[in-house]
Amino acid sequence: MTSKVTRSSASELDRSNIARAFATSGSVLKRAQGVYVEDEKGKKYLDMTAGGTTAVGYSHPRLTKALVSQVSRGIDHIDRQTMITEKASELTDELKTFVPNPLAKGKAVFGHSGSDIIEKAIRLVRFSTSRPVIVSYYSAHHGANATALSASPTLKEMGTNALSRFFNLPGFMHMPFPDSYRPWFADGSNYPGTANIRQRKKWFAEALQESYRELSPDQRMLVEYKPFEPAFYHTDIADWGMALLLSRAAGPQAKVLVDTGHHYATQNIEQIVAWLLSEDMLGGFHFNDRRYADDDLTMGSIDPYQVFRIFHEIHFFEWETGERAHVAYMVDQSHNLKGKIEAMIQTVAMAQQLFAKAALVDAKKLATAQKNCDLVQAESLLQDAFATDVRPAIQDWKVSKGLPKDPLEAFRQSGYLERITKERATKNAHSVSSYA
């Protein structure tokens, strides 16, 4: 004997019998067709939540016919790992016509869900590369099993969510999703009279505005400047003032990008940073160091005090305003002579130290010294902070996070460089390249 299930009883049964990760709409659905779902009262809803399994719509005639045919043959749940079916092979053969080489020469792996495929992909890439670490973005969602959740740091971002510690398998690293779009311009001219500078300014403004219109609401455009090279008579965006004007003409999501190497010798970069912060126009940095021009040397190798002063201006701005500066940090260096991985580890360690040193400046005392015109006290606050050895504190922090106390030494002892050098030498034995 069966009883008729009403809307209220269906909702009650759902609440008492089915565990859900998300809140429901409360509607009891009866049927679906195309892009619409229909409840028991005949009210239709445009389905905006459908996943990949309904990409062609609900109850598509061809899909329904194929599903009925396959189910009626009784082989819809055959284990494809141990047995062969015609349809799986035919589907793979057809899929190869839609993918580019070399994927078309490969083989397919089937799964029963997105979570399942993500787990298989992670296993495959770890096995084929011998690299255990998987990098994923914050706020990403890759599935519901433990492996997929470890690659989906949304739970970890909730902070106090008790579930987060259960879905954090080793071998996963997470990073913010990049929200900044940086067009690179090195255009200009090499000889007087060979270009209409005003016309080129107009073209740049129009081109940036056209690119700006393609930004999503959460993206930013960062406009970079450079005084010379490869153009040597005039560069279209030669300094921060030009970049500022073009950014404002493009729209409020456009900001200025400061490359520390893109300045004339002895230029006060931290003053530029302070001005851009005050105008809410500082978008980000390309960090490097230099001796003469755009040398792209390792950050802090020539003038670490300058980087310290830049970080200080950001800290001081945040203290004065009570606001967090929305600044994107990037390393833009040329590792032609130093080992690339070692140089990057060295750079990150230097950035941590200089950022921590800048945070030691007593902003309240500094503001008072500036107000009282106490030059020696004000300067000493910066010098004392810069002279402080912050390495022990940073090392303690690393240990508390389960990280190597000395990352450079840990890398050298890992044998990773020797292993990949051997692997890549064998792989590239027949290729010729002059790229550094």
Q: What is the DSSP string of 370-400?
A: HHTT-HHHHHHHHHHHHHS--HHHHHHHHHH
pLDDT, tens digit (0-9, with 9 covering 90-100), for 71-123: 888 766 666 667 777 878 888 888 888 888 888 888 888 887 888 899 999 99
**Domain for residue 49, yes or no?**
no
Which sign does the torsion angle of CA 158, 159, 162, 166 carry? positive
CATH number at residue 211: 3.20.20.150
pLDDT in tens, 111-154: 878 888 999 999 999 988 888 889 988 777 888 788 888 888 76
- Does 257 share its domain with 392? yes
Asked if the model's pLDDT at residue 434 lies above 80, the reply is: no
Domains contained in the chain, number: 2
CB-based contacts of 98, cutoff 8 Å, min separation 6: none
Statement to judge: residues 124 and 246 lie in one domain: no
Q: Is the peptide bond before 304 cis (omega within 30 degrees of 0)?
A: no
Same domain membership, residue 153 and residue 205: no
| Tokens found for residue 89 | 């092979």
Q: Are residues 278 and 373 in the same domain?
A: yes
Asked if the model's pLDDT at residue 346 lies above 50, the reply is: yes
pLDDT of residue 63: 86
Q: Are residues 168 and 222 in the same domain?
A: no
Please indicate, yes or no, if residue 3 is contained in any of the structural domains: no
Which structural domain range is residue 162 located in?
96-175
The stretch 420-426 carries a mean pLDDT of: 85
Say if residue 356 is in the same domain as residue 416: yes
The answer to whether residue 188 is domain-embedded is: yes
Final residue belonging to a domain, choices 158, 175, 192: 175
Q: Are residues 206 and 158 in the same domain?
A: no
Backbone angles phi, psi at 65, to 5 degrees: -65, -45
State which of 111, 144, 175 marks the end of a domain: 175
> Does this model's pTM top 0.85?
no
- Say yes or no: 370 and 346 in one domain: yes
Does residue 428 register a pLDDT over 90? no
Whether 56 maps to a domain, the answer reads no
In a domain, 79, yes or no: no
User: Is residue 340 included in any domain, yes or no?
Assistant: yes
pLDDT of residue 164: 55
**Do residues 227 and 244 both lie within one domain?**
yes
H/E stretch holding 181: strand 180-181
pLDDT at 54: 72
Read off the pLDDT of residues 348-395 as tens digits, 9 standing for 90 and up: 999 999 999 999 999 999 999 999 999 999 999 999 999 999 999 999
168 and 293 share one domain: no
Tell me, yes or no, whether 212 lies in a domain. Answer: yes
Please tell me whether residues 255 and 388 are part of one structural domain.
yes
Same domain, 137 and 244: no
Of the candidates 265, 307, 305, 309, the residue with the CA atom closest to the CA atom of residue 286: 307
* Two tokens, residue 257: 């990008």
Distance CA 93, CA 122 (A): 24
24 falls within a domain: no
**Of 175, 209, 234, the domain-final residue:** 175
Written as six digits, the tokens of 118 are 């993500």
